[in-house]
Amino acid sequence: MGQVEAGLQPSSAADLTEAELRFRALADQAPLMIWRCDAARQCDYVNRAWLEFTGRPMESERGQGRLELVHPEDAAACLAIFTAAFETREPFTLEYRLRRHDGAWRWLREHGQPLMRDEEFGGYIASCADVTELREAQAGQEAAAAERESLLSELHHRVKNNAQATTSFLSLQAARASDKLVAQALRGAAMRVMLATLVQDRMFRVVESAGLELGEELATAARAALDVAGRPGLTLELALEARLPLPVAQVQPLALIVNELVVNAARHAFPGRPGGTIRLALRQAGPGHAELLVEDDGIGLPESTPRNTPSGCLGLHLVPLLARQARASLRLESPGGTRALLRFPC
């Protein structure tokens, strides 16, 4: 497996010399550093690029000489990988530092292949590329990513603390308000900030490119909204038929929509009733599209209510704005209860 035909050990001395000359001519033209060792693990050849890198003559690289310039911290790992490869006669890849002719340590990525001739093991041949700049660039990217993660974490912490402080302030003002409608509006605002903070906290823990399972996030948002609404006796029905991984930027507004609709139903849909049902459904509606349904069996929507009053269901006015962020179309109906249907790309 992964073995190459040596072609370097012909039967006669004349053929050997001619084949070796052809091999060296080709190897010396290669842009990579190349070395070759025999079945006794002794290096018998390195190409011109290797000699130019080390600044040493061929005699210094033969035998075990080529290993003298390996960084002391990498020597043991290199020897272990090389020894294991000889035992299994399989290809190997490793990275290590080698001292250049000017004394600089350079990172090499080495790929080795076993040499075979007539099913007889003849040693190894390997090519090496200088990957120092690539490793430095990767290290820089990792450091930048770590710094960005630290800054985002600090920002998230500050936003979360500010949101909690805002929630506490609104709740305190609601408790002190003498006007019942004002108190109700303040409690609604505190609830909305709290639920949005819960959504943000969940989304922050996910890498943007990784995406989220939409059904799980919407179910979590719906349960949290019902708990925060504090309306006993209500039943939450879930019918999540589709597994839809979506990016965080799309899941977040959909989760906020579910928050708003569930809270609105819990607070306004069942006046004077000991119980009621809120249903959340998600399904694949066709190639590249999905549908989200939030409905209740309550009293339905009033024909016309000013949005800036506690009874005006401010959340229903926020839902269209959030739907646009999620690239979703929205249909809001009240055929006996309230029914919100969103269709969006997935």
Digit-coded pLDDT (tens) for 90-138: 999 999 999 999 999 999 999 999 998 778 898 999 999 999 999 999 8
CATH code, domain with 311: 3.30.565.10
119 & 182 share domain: no
Q: 109, 130, 151: which is the final residue of a domain? A: 130
| 238 part of a folded domain | yes
| 135 part of a folded domain | no
% of the chain residues with pLDDT over 70: 81
| 184 part of a folded domain | yes
197 & 215 share domain: no
pTM reported for the whole predicted model? 0.50
117 & 152 share domain: no
37 & 74 share domain: yes
Residue matched to tokens 């459904």: 281
| 27 part of a folded domain | yes
The total of structural domains in the chain comes to: 3
59 & 177 share domain: no
| 122 part of a folded domain | yes
106 & 238 share domain: no
Q: Is the pLDDT of residue 41 over 60?
A: yes
Asked if 102 contacts 17 with a C-beta cutoff of 8 angstroms, the reply is: no
Q: What is the pLDDT of residues 229-240, one digit of tens each?
A: 878 889 999 998
Asked if 125 contacts 24 with a C-beta cutoff of 8 angstroms, the reply is: no
Q: What are phi and psi of 268, to 5 degrees?
A: -125, -20
The least confident of 158-172, 240-254, 269-283 is 158-172
146 & 247 share domain: no
Asked if 309 contacts 294 with a C-beta cutoff of 8 angstroms, the reply is: no
Q: Is the pLDDT of residue 222 over 60?
A: yes
| 124 part of a folded domain | yes
| 277 part of a folded domain | yes
The least confident of 114-123, 140-149, 202-211 is 202-211
Residue in 235, 302, 291 with CA at minimum distance from that of residue 262: 235
Residue in 244, 241, 294 with CA at minimum distance from that of residue 269: 294
User: Checking DSSP bridges between strand 105-117 and strand 4-5, what pairing results, if any?
Assistant: parallel
Q: 188, 206, 224: which is the final residue of a domain? A: 206
Chain-centroid distance of CA 139 in Å reads 18
118 & 76 share domain: yes
CATH code, domain with 95: 3.30.450.20
Q: How far apart are CA 242 and CA 214, in angstroms?
A: 9
61 & 154 share domain: no
pLDDT at residue 114, as a whole number? 93
Q: 175, 206, 237: which is the final residue of a domain? A: 206
Domain extent, residue 82, equals 4-130
344 & 221 share domain: yes
202 & 219 share domain: no
| 151 part of a folded domain | yes
154 & 276 share domain: no
Token digits for 320? 């269209």
Secondary-structure breakdown of the chain: helix, strand, coil percentages, each rounded to the nearest 5: 50, 25, 25
pLDDT at residue 3, as a whole number? 53
